[in-house]
Amino acid sequence: MSKRIFETSTAQETPIELDEVTKSYASGMGQVIALDSVDFHVDAGEVVAVIGPSGSGKSTMLNMLGLLDEPTEGQILLHGDPATGLSPAEKTTARRETIGFVFQDFHLIPTLTAVGNVRLPTAFLPDDATARAEDLLTRVGLGDRLRHTPDELSGGQKQRVAIARSLINEPDVLLADEPTGNLDSETGAAVLEEIRAIADEGVGVVAVTHDDLVREYTDRTVELVDGVLTDATWDTRAAATRCGLSWSEHLSSACASSARSPWYRYWRLCSRHTRHAWNSTSGRSDGRAWRVR
C-alpha cells in the first residue's frame, strides 16, 4: 500500500478539526454564509452529534469534514496537518485512508452482495479485502447474510452493511449523515449500538441528525444554527438512561465504587463531558465546578 498522506499516531487524540472555517456562496440575493467561523473537533473514541434545523449548514459542515468541499476561509486539519488546498487526487487518498462515510439512504450497489458492497472502497487497491469484509459483516451481526444482495436485506441490515463498508479501510473518523433517518426506533437503536462500539475501539464519530435517539449514544452534542456552531447542553437524563438508571435513581442514588455498577458507568460517561473529578467512594468532588466541555 502507498505511503499515507497523513501519518497517524496513537498519541494523536484529534484526528480531524475545523479551524475557524467559513463557507460562503454567491447568490442572487448576495452572499450566503453557510458556515460562520466554525471551530470543531472530534477526538479519537468520541461520538459527537451535530443537530440543527434544516438549512443551518449541517450538510456543508459534513462536506468539509469529508474533504468534499473547500472552505472560503479557515483550515481543515487531519491529524494536525492542513488538508485545505490538497489536489483532488490527494483528497481522494486522504479520504480513503482516514474517513469512513455512512449515509441515510445506504447507497448500496443493488447488484452486489453484502461482501461486494463492503469491499467496494478497496476496488482499486492491490490487496484482496474479501476476508476483512466478511469479518466486518460478521462483527455487525450479518455473518449469515454475506452473499445476500440489498433487496434481500431489511433496512437495518442495509445500514449495517453500510457501516461495515465505512470501516473497510480502517478509518480514524466515521461521518454519519442521518444514520437512523430511514429506520424505526428499535432498529435505529441497534445501529447506534454498533456505532457506539466502533467509537469505543478508538474511531471518532460525527453524526449529523434530527433524531433525539442519537443523542443518547453520544459523548457530546453541538448545535448549528445559521452557520454558527455552539455546544448543546449535556443531557444527564440521557446519560442515566444509557447506563441503565431510571431518572428517579439518578435523583436519589449515591455513586457506587464498583466498576460494574450503573452509577460507575454513569460517572465515566459524565466525566467525558466535564472537567470535574469525582471520588466515587466518598461521594465528594475535588472542589472544581462542573463545566460542560
Q: Tens digits of per-residue pLDDT, 143-197?
A: 999 999 999 999 999 999 999 999 999 999 999 999 888 888 888 888 899 899 9
Pair 128, 171 in one domain: yes
For the question of whether the overall pTM of this predicted structure is more than 0.85, the answer is no
Pair 243, 138 in one domain: no
User: Does the residue 280 lie in any domain?
Assistant: yes
Q: 273 and 266 in contact (C-beta within 8 Å)?
A: no
Pair 176, 273 in one domain: no
User: Does the residue 34 lie in any domain?
Assistant: yes
User: Does the residue 157 lie in any domain?
Assistant: yes
- What confidence category does residue 88 fall into, taking pLDDT thresholds of 50, 70 and 90? very high
Pair 20, 76 in one domain: yes
User: Does the residue 292 lie in any domain?
Assistant: no
Residue 12 is predicted with a pLDDT of 47
Cα 177 to chain centroid, rounded: 9
Pair 201, 276 in one domain: no
Q: Which residue has the cell 443518547?
A: 216
User: Does the residue 6 lie in any domain?
Assistant: no
Pair 191, 266 in one domain: no
CA–CA distance, 46 with 44 (Å, rounded to integer): 6
Q: 31 and 72 in contact (C-beta within 8 Å)?
A: no
Pair 188, 276 in one domain: no
Is the model more confident about 125 or about 145? Answer: 145
**CATH code for position 226:** 3.40.50.300
User: Does the residue 79 lie in any domain?
Assistant: yes
Pair 52, 193 in one domain: yes
Pair 182, 275 in one domain: no
- What confidence category does residue 241 fall into, taking pLDDT thresholds of 50, 70 and 90? low
Pair 245, 111 in one domain: no
Pair 120, 217 in one domain: yes
Q: Which residue has the cell 438508571?
A: 245
Q: Which of 215, 232, 249 is the endpoint of a domain?
A: 232
Cell of 88: 483532488
**Residue 258 structural domain:** 238-285
CA torsion, points 231, 236, 242, 245, in degrees to nearest 10?
Answer: 180
User: Does the residue 101 lie in any domain?
Assistant: yes
Number of domains in the chain: 2
Q: What is the pLDDT of residues 38-52, one digit of tens each?
A: 999 999 999 999 999
User: Does the residue 206 lie in any domain?
Assistant: yes
Residue 185 is predicted with a pLDDT of 86
Pair 261, 215 in one domain: no
Q: Which of 232, 248, 271 is the endpoint of a domain?
A: 232
CA–CA distance, 264 with 219 (Å, rounded to integer): 16
Q: Which of 208, 232, 256 is the endpoint of a domain?
A: 232
Q: What is the pLDDT of residues 64-75, one digit of tens each?
A: 999 999 999 999
SS3 per residue for 61-113: HHHHHCCCCCCCEEEEEECCEECCCCCHHHHHHHHHHHEEEECCCCCCCCCCC
